[in-house]
């Protein structure tokens, strides 16, 4: 963040976006486990191409949670992910 003059109001120019992904798949995995193990949900819908989520997808399915994988246009779901979803849906995108 850039320094604003003391007492001056902050503006958009005082901030710089930082688009790093750190531990996002881990956090998603923890959320899936947190909701799946005690069966707080019946279904989880994932829009991802990240095969790092396969172990937690397996965990969810072992606990009776249905896993739905969503494909976006022009992005085919990998065969590794396809094996671990119960339902595959294609999203319509404008």
pLDDT of residue 57: 96
Q: How far apart are CA 14 and CA 10, in angstroms?
A: 6
User: Does residue 78 belong to any structural domain of this protein?
Assistant: yes
Q: Which pTM was predicted?
A: 0.73
Domain that holds residue 64: 42-94
pLDDT of res. 17: 78
Cα separation, 48 vs 33, whole angstroms: 17
pLDDT number for residue 35:
98
- Other CB atoms within a 10 A radius of the CB of residue 67 amount to 23
Number of domains in the chain: 1
Is residue 22, in this structure, part of any structural domain at all? no
Q: What is the pLDDT of residue 42?
A: 98
What pLDDT, on the 0 to 100 scale, is given for residue 5?
60
Residues of the chain with confidence (pLDDT) below 70:
1-5, 19
Residue 61 lies in a domain: yes
């Amino acid at each position: 963040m850039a320094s604003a003059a003391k007492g001056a109001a902050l503006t958009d120019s005082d901030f710089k976006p930082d688009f790093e992904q750190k531990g996002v798949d881990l956090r998603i995995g923890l959320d899936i486990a947190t909701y799946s193990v005690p069966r707080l949900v019946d279904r989880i819908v994932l829009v991802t191409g990240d095969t790092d989520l396969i172990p937690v997808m397996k965990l969810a399915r072992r606990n009776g949670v249905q896993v739905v994988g969503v494909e976006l246009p022009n992005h085919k779901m990998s065969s590794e992910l396809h094996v671990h979803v119960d339902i595959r849906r294609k999203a319509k995108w404008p």
